[in-house]
Amino acid sequence: MDGLLNRWVAYQRERFPLAAHIPLVAAFSASAVCFSSLVRGHVAAPSAAALFVAFVTSLLFFLQLRIADEFKDREEDARFRPYRPVPRGLVTLGELAWVGTVAGVVQLLLALWLHPSLVWLLILTWVYLALMTREFFAARWLKAHPVLYMTSHMLILPLVDLYATACDWRVAGLSDPPVGLSWFLIVSFLNGIVVEIGRKTRAAADEERGVETYSALWGRQGAVCGWLLAVLLTGTAAWQASVRIGTRAPTAAMLLLLAIACGIVARRFLRTATPGSGKWLETMAGVWTVVMYIGLGAAPLAFTLWRSVR
């Protein structure tokens, strides 16, 4: 039993580090619930049940995404990345399939407990995840078009976010998402691109044979420009989302500070590009995403509630 536990702890540490995922998913899911409440004009603390289901289900979605990656990348990993857990035999694909299935059962039970109508959104996300695992039956064509490949995979994030927001609006009795919610879903999609380019932009010394990074595809400068463009687009969508909940001024200030920080990190990476320096972009992408979500959902609702009881 100790050996089994140690194997999964090692897998978690290498491929799904909870210390990194939990804060990000907590900000993602809580702010989805809070933004949904604000945009439909309901200023009240979200229920613990809604927050719990949104968080756990979202975290399990991201775990299932990681497991899906293990399946679709198994041949490349065996050839180019034998140090990863599956090729070196730490865990098997069969074991991962069981973990993904158990995660799905937990998601289903939580949906039935909170509001049975959530099951349809759950199934929709599962179907898209299954298509992603099969590379939409066009793996060779997609990999020949990196931007389309990234876009097709990032589209699952608005679906996960739609489910998280539905833990508020669907439970509240709405049959359709509230007007204005679409901007928050666009933010989720674009934040995914910020994180994706940030984690796959590396210094030349860190590039690996067989690993398709954006710095290898576009060059370091091209990858950084793409990352900054994604930051700019995400900021624009976030400001549009803030307009829908009446927080445009504080959101603009937050976005300006975050954009300056991103610019400083990008400039530092281009000027030095020492081994390991790509982590600067990855870390900044994570900070950008967490602060963005908190600033759009949880913080405005908390502030509004605090002001109402003064």
Q: CB within 8 A of 306, min separation 6: which ones? A: none
- Taking the model in full, what pTM does it have? 0.93
Q: Where does the chain have alpha helices with state H?
A: 2-15, 18-39, 48-72, 74-80, 93-114, 118-133, 139-143, 146-154, 156-169, 181-199, 214-245, 248-272, 278-293, 299-308
Domain boundaries, the chain: 19-34+47-143, 179-310
User: How many other C-beta atoms can be found within 10 angstroms of the C-beta atom of residue 286?
Assistant: 17
Each residue of 176-231: pLDDT tens digit?
Answer: 999 999 999 999 999 999 999 999 999 888 888 777 889 989 999 999 999 999 99
Contact 39, 179 (CB under 8 A): yes
**Which DSSP string do the residues of 37-64 spell out, in sequence order?**
HHHTT--SPPPHHHHHHHHHHHHHHHHH
Task: Give pLDDT, residue 310.
Answer: 60
Contact 71, 133 (CB under 8 A): yes
Each residue of 126-151: pLDDT tens digit?
Answer: 999 999 988 898 888 988 888 899 99
Token output for 150: 């990234």
Token output for 60: 């399990």
CATH architecture of 179-310: Up-down Bundle (1.20)
